[in-house]
Structure 1
Amino acid sequence: MQEPRFHAVIADDHAIVRAGLRIALETPGTVVSEGIAVVAEANDGLQAIAAVRRHRPSLLLLDVQMPLAGGLEVFVEARRWSPDTRVVILTGVSSVGKIGELVASGVDGLFSKSEDHDELIAKLPNILSGQRHIAGRFEEMLRDAPAPPLLSDRERQTLNLIVSGRSNREIGETLGISAKTVDRHRTNLMKKLDVHSVAQLIAYALREGLIDPSVEL
C-alpha cells in the first residue's frame, strides 16, 4: 500500500466535525491521488499548536474559534514552528470584520462551516500545491461590504479587556498605562465604531468578531 504523501492535523473543539473532516480527507480518491493521512486531532488551540510542533504536517485544518488559544493565534504559532504547513481556516463566523482579518492574516485557505465539504475537498489539491483559496461567499462579502474601522493594537487590547469586564484602573495596570489614557482609548473606540454605551461597544465587538474569541467573559 502506498504511503500517503501528505499528513494533516485537524483542530476543532467539536468531535463530530473532526470525525467528518477525517473521513473526507482519508477517503481514497476524494482529495489527492497520493492520499492524506490525519496524524493528529486537537480540541483546543494549545493542543493544535503542540500537534503542529510535533508533526510538522503538510496541512492544518483549523477552526477559528478555539478554546485556550484562538484560531489566529494558532495560525501565527503554526507559521513559526512549521512554515511549510498549509493552514486552512474553517469558520462559522460571518462578520465582515473577522473575515477581513482572516484574509489579511495570510491563511492559505478560508472556508465556511455552513457549507458542505465539496468546495474544500475540490480546492485542497491546489492549496497543497501552493495556491491560496478564499471561499466564494467570503470574497463576495468582502467585495460588497464597506471597509471596516481600523483599530490600533492598543485599541484592540483595550477592547478585549473591556469585554472581559475590567475597569479602567485594571486595564491600565494590565497595559502599563494610566486610567486616563484607557478612558481616551475607550472614547476613541466608541467613536470609531459609532456606539454610545459600553454595552453597545461590547455587543458590536462580539457580533463583528473584533475581539479574541478565547477571552474570558
Structure 2
Amino acid sequence: MTTTPAHVLVVPARAPQRTRGEVHVLIGRGDTPAVYQRFADRLAADGYAVHVRPDAVTTAVRADGDVPQIVIGIDAGAIRAADIARVDPSAIDAVVLVGLPGPDDPDSSALTAELEIEARASCPTQQGRLRDSAIITAGQLIADLPPSVASGTIDVPVLALHGEDDRVSPLDTADGRYRQLGIDHLTVVESGRHDVLNSVHHRTVAASIVSFLEQVRHDGRAPLAQRSLSAEAIR
C-alpha cells in the first residue's frame, strides 16, 4: 500500500464534489500536515479543496484560474503566506494569517514537551492527538524563523487570526506585526493559543474562515477582516 508522504499533502477524507476554491495551508515549525487533517475535512465539507504544504513554499500557487486561490499560513507559514501576498499578489485571491510570529517574541526555550503541547492548542482532543502520535516534531517552536523576503503591505483580502492566550507569539507583541502589513483589525480567538485552527473554538474558527472565503468568492471583499480587536472576538 502506498501512502502520501506526510510532509507533502493532506487529502481530506471528504473531497468536495464541486470545488469552490483551492486552499493552500502553509504549516508551521515542527508541524506535519496531519496536524490540520480535521481542519481540512471541515473546509472540504464546504466545497474547498485543501492542500497542506511545507512552510518553505514561496512560489505562486495558482493552479486553476476558474476558482479562487487562498493561502492560509500558520506560525512560520504565516510569514511565507504574507510574503506570497506581497511579492506576487496576482497568484492568490486572499490570505489568512494565523499566529504570526516574529523575532521579538519571548524566548520559549523553557517549554517542556507537555508545555509545548499546551502552548500549541487549547482543544483537549487535539492535545491528546499531539501527545499520542508523531504528528509534530517536539522542540521546533524555538527554531529560527524564516527571514521575510518582502516588505510593505498586503493588498489582497486578508483575515488575521490570533489566539488570546498565545504564549509563543503573545498578542501584545504580534499586534504591531499585523499593522506593519497594513492590517488594522484582528480577529482574536478567546482561549486560543498559538494554533487557533485547533483551539477549543475550532468549529467557530473554521466557520469564520469559510465565511471569509465565501465573501472572496462573491465579490473579493472580506468584511470579517474588519472585526475590531477591541470590539469582537471569537467565543
TM-score (norm 1): 0.46
* Larger relative contact order (CA 8 Å, sep ≥ 6): 2
Q: Larger radius of gyration, structure 1 or 2?
A: 1
TM-score (norm 2): 0.43
